[in-house]
Structures are given as C-alpha cells and as structure tokens.
C-alpha cells in the first residue's frame, strides 16, 4: 500500500529526528563553583554547604596571622577563577581589597561579618576609645556562624540554582550540628566556678559573649603589654585565681609563659583558626570546662 509506505517513511524520519534532537549524555565532570575565603574556618563553612560542588581557595594559610597577612602571588592568581570572595572582615582584607578586586573585577564580594554588631577591640589602659577599633573574631560565636551559613547558602544557590536542594539539605545538617554544639557547650559551662579567662591574643570575645565568659587579653591592639599593664595582669590573675594562660599557635607565647611562671600556672594552646571549626570549638569548650571549673 502506497499510503502506508509514506506513513512508514514519515514515521522513520520522525524517529530519526528524535534521535538527532536527544541531547548527548553529560560527559563533562561535575560543575564546580570556585570561591575564595579569607580564613580556614570559612573553608569549612563553605564546604559544609557547597559540598563537592564548590572548590574553595583559602587566602590566609595555616599558621599565618590573618590580621597582617600578605597574600602570595599564586593566591592572587587563584583568585581570578573565583565567582565570590567570602570576606570575614579581618584587617588584611581591607589592605588588599583594591589589588584583590582589580585582579578579578567580576568577582562578587560578600562580607560574612556584615550586619553583625561588632564588639570593641580591647584598648590599652588610659587610651581613649575612638570607636574605630572593632574586634573581628566573629566566627568564634556559633550563633553568628549559624547566620553566616545561611548567607553562604543564599549565595551558592543564586550561582547554581540546580543544586539548591542539595545546598539546602547541607545547610539544615550544618545548622543541626551548630545547635547541638551550642547546647552541649551551654550544658558543660553551667557549673563553671570561674568565668574569666586570660588569653594572649584576644580572639575569643564573641565565644565568651555567647557563653557568659569574660576574656582578659594580654596583647592589646596587636602590641605587647607595657610593664605596668603586665604587672596588673599578674595581679589580676592572682586575685582571680587564674591558673591557665591561653595562647594561640599563630602568635608569640613568650609573655604568656612569663605570666604563667609568675602565677605558678600553665600555658595552653588554643586556636580559632583551625579548619575543622566544629570539632575545634568542641575541643576548646572542653578545655575551658576543665580549666575554669
């Protein structure tokens, strides 16, 4: 039958067309978003939300001081692939911002510390508080990190809407971990007999604020204490029955060791720059629980 032959031919053409129009199976690898962060804990935050869909370039390398950091040429080069720079509001960012943005003008700047009511940075005795010195260590507060996680989720979802459900699930899981951390710390700090602690580099004020502790800094404004400040710190430590001086591995421990010797106490290392932020805060909380009881 002629009609059926025509029909068959049309059908075959139609099917050929279907084959031709079917997209070839995805052979390229997973699409990843490149972002840059300032400090290692931020890498942890972004990894928790973005998972394998995000690759993170960290500016302040392990062991370096984020207040005075100078990015290496290779790091500046790596910036050029980044879609977003998640700032944390630490000082080196301002000093390098112009070079960072001229290196990659397309890159979006997102300051995770934006909108946070910052605490004043510790000031020297008798120094007039100009209101300019603000404490940048906001990432030591689980509550504040919880809201930063939400911002990271918003930004990654805007860049990669197809993976939004996954980012959402990761956010929920991270929030759960933060809530558990927060409630465990609250429970473990309930019966502390001493809520004041002495630390060389004042990097824990936001953590202290969350949990009703008080940080007594030795280093102020990035400088060591004067002789009179040093002797008053020793008096305070003795009066408050402080037996532990906390130091951060990124900073000098000499003065802390001197004070510890004067009060017959010890020096303990804690850092707010460890990459595994969650595990690190658990360890730090445990150290506080043991030493402030």
* Residues within the interface to Zn ion (CB under 5 A): 203
When the beta carbons of 123 and 192 are compared against Zn ion, the nearer one is 123
When the beta carbons of 167 and 201 are compared against Zn ion, the nearer one is 201
Least distance from Zn ion to the Cβ atom of residue 187, Å: 28
Distance of alpha carbon 47 from alpha carbon 173, whole angstroms: 12
Distance of alpha carbon 247 from alpha carbon 241, whole angstroms: 18
Q: Quick one: 74 exposed, middle or buried, by C-beta within 10 A (0-12, 13-18, 19+)?
A: exposed
When the beta carbons of 141 and 157 are compared against Zn ion, the nearer one is 141
When the beta carbons of 142 and 203 are compared against Zn ion, the nearer one is 203
Least distance from Zn ion to the Cβ atom of residue 217, Å: 11
Least distance from Zn ion to the Cβ atom of residue 201, Å: 5
Tell me which residue of 277, 280, 283, 203 sits closest to 246, measured CA to CA: 203
Least distance from Zn ion to the Cβ atom of residue 67, Å: 6
DSSP one-letter string for 26-65: P-S----EEEEESSHHHHHHHHHHHGGGEEEEESS-TT--
When the beta carbons of 47 and 219 are compared against Zn ion, the nearer one is 219
Residue nearest to Zn ion (CB): 203
Tell me which residue of 86, 104, 255, 225 sits closest to 156, measured CA to CA: 86
Least distance from Zn ion to the Cβ atom of residue 138, Å: 11
When the beta carbons of 60 and 156 are compared against Zn ion, the nearer one is 60
Give the CA angle between residues 216, 271, 246 to the nearest 5°: 35
Least distance from Zn ion to the Cβ atom of residue 271, Å: 10
């Amino acid at each position: 039958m002629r009609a059926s032959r025509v029909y068959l031919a049309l059908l075959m053409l139609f099917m050929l067309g279907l084959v031709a129009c079917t997209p070839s199976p995805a052979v390229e690898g997973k699409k990843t978003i490149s972002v840059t962060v300032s400090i290692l804990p931020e890498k942890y935050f972004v990894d928790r939300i973005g998972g394998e869909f995000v690759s993170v370039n960290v500016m302040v390398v392990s062991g370096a001081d984020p207040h005075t950091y100078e990015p290496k040429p290779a790091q500046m080069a790596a910036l050029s692939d980044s879609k977003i720079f998640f700032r944390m509001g630490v000082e080196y960012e301002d000093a390098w911002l112009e070079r960072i943005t001229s290196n990659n003008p397309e890159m979006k700047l997102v300051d995770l510390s934006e909108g946070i009511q910052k605490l004043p940075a510790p000031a020297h005795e008798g120094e007039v508080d100009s209101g300019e010195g603000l404490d940048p260590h906001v990432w030591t507060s689980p509550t504040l990190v919880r809201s930063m996680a939400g911002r990271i989720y918003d930004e990654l979802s805007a860049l990669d809407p197809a993976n939004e459900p996954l980012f959402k699930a990761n956010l929920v899981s991270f929030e759960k971990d933060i809530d558990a951390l927060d409630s465990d710390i609250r429970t473990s700090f309930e019966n502390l007999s001493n809520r004041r602690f002495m630390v060389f580099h004042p990097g824990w004020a936001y953590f202290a604020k969350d949990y009703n502790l008080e940080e007594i800094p030795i280093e102020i404004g990035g400088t060591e204490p004067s002789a009179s400040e040093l002797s008053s710190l020793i008096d305070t430590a003795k009066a408050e029955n402080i037996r532990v001086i906390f130091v951060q591995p990124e900073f000098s421990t000499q003065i802390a060791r001197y004070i510890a010797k004067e009060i017959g106490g010890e020096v303990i290392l804690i850092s707010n720059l460890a990459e595994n932020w969650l595990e690190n805060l658990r360890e730090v909380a445990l150290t506080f629980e043991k030493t402030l009881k």
